[in-house]
Amino acid sequence: MTPQIEFCFDLSSPWTYLAFHNIRPLAARHGATICWTPILVGGVFNAANPSVYAARESGSSPKFKHMAKILRDWAQWTGVELNFPSPHHPLKSVHAMRAACALEEDQAALERFAEAAFHAYFVEQRNLDDPAEVAAVADGIGLDGAALIAAANSQPIKDRLRANTDSLVARGGYGSPSIFVRGTDMYFGNDQLPLVEQALVRAKGETIS
C-alpha cells in the first residue's frame, strides 16, 4: 500500500512555507503521495488556538526572537530562500486561500499555485491580501488569474474552505501546517517532519538504517 500524506496548509505561515518545500523530497524518498488541503489558519486559531494572538502581541519576547532565528536557521540548512518578515505580515490570507481552494480538485495545479504564491510572499514580499496580486501569481504560472479569483469568490468555494477548516479543527488540528499520515496520524509543523518520515517508514514496514 502506498503511504499517503495530507498536508493542511495556509499560505501565510513561514513554517508552512518551509515544510511545503521540505516535505516533497521526503515523500518522494518513500513513494508517498501528498494531498494538498487548503485551510484558513485564522479560523483554526479562533477555534482551537487563540493564544497565538497574544504571542504575536509580545513579539519582542526572547522566545519570539529565538523562534525567528530558528526559522532562518531552518531555511539556511534546507536551502529554502527566505526574505522575511514581510511588511504585510501577518497576512490576511482569505483571498489567497479561497483561490487555493478553487484549485483543490486539480492537485497538480494547486501545488504549482502554492509554490508560486509562497515565493511571492516569502521571497518577493508581495501582498497576497490583494486579489490582484493573487491573480497575477496565477497568471504567472499559466493559469487564468481573473477566472480563478471569480471562482474563489463563489459561495461553493467559500463554503469549501470553511468546511476544510472546520474539519481540521474537528480532527485535532491547531495550526498550519497540520500533516496527517494515513488519515489519522497527525503531526504539526516543519520541525516534526523527521517524525513524519518515521511514520512513513512504519507504514511501509521498513527500518531507517
Give the closest residue to 71 by CA, choosing from 190, 178, 197, 175: 190
C-alpha cell at 146: 481573473
User: What pLDDT score was predicted for residue 21?
Assistant: 98
pLDDT band for position 57 (cuts 50, 70, 90): low
The mean pLDDT value for 109-117 works out to: 98
- 75-84 long-range contacts, CB within 8 A, separation 24+: 75/18, 78/18, 78/21, 78/22, 80/17, 80/18, 80/21, 80/22, 81/119, 81/122, 81/123, 82/14, 82/17, 82/18, 82/122, 82/123, 83/122, 83/123, 83/124, 83/125, 84/14, 84/122
Sequence-ordered list of residues with C-beta below 8 angstroms from that of 64, at least 6 positions apart, any chain: 55, 58
Poorest-pLDDT segment among 55-69, 73-87, 111-125: 55-69
The answer to whether residue 207 scores a pLDDT higher than 80 is no
Residue with cell 491573480: 135
pTM for the full predicted model = 0.92
Give the closest residue to 188 by CA, choosing from 165, 172, 164, 166: 172
The mean pLDDT value for 88-99 works out to: 94
State the chain's mean pLDDT as an integer.
Answer: 92
Higher per-residue pLDDT: 209 or 40:
40
What is the helix, strand, coil percentage profile of the chain, to 5?
Answer: 60, 10, 30
User: What pLDDT score was predicted for residue 204?
Assistant: 82
Calpha distance 21→45 (Å, rounded)? 23
Inter-CA distances, 133 with 14, 42, 96, 125, 174, Å? 19, 20, 9, 11, 28
DSSP bridge pairs for 188: 178
Q: What are the pLDDT digits (tens) for 70-86?
A: 999 999 999 999 999 88
Q: What are the pLDDT digits (tens) for 17-36?
A: 999 999 999 999 999 999 99
Domains and CATH numbers, the chain: 4-204 (3.40.30.10)
Q: What are the pLDDT digits (tens) for 127-179?
A: 999 999 999 999 999 999 999 999 999 999 999 999 999 999 999 999 999 99
Inter-CA distances, 198 with 92, 172, 193, 208, Å? 34, 21, 9, 8
The answer to whether residue 1 scores a pLDDT higher than 70 is no
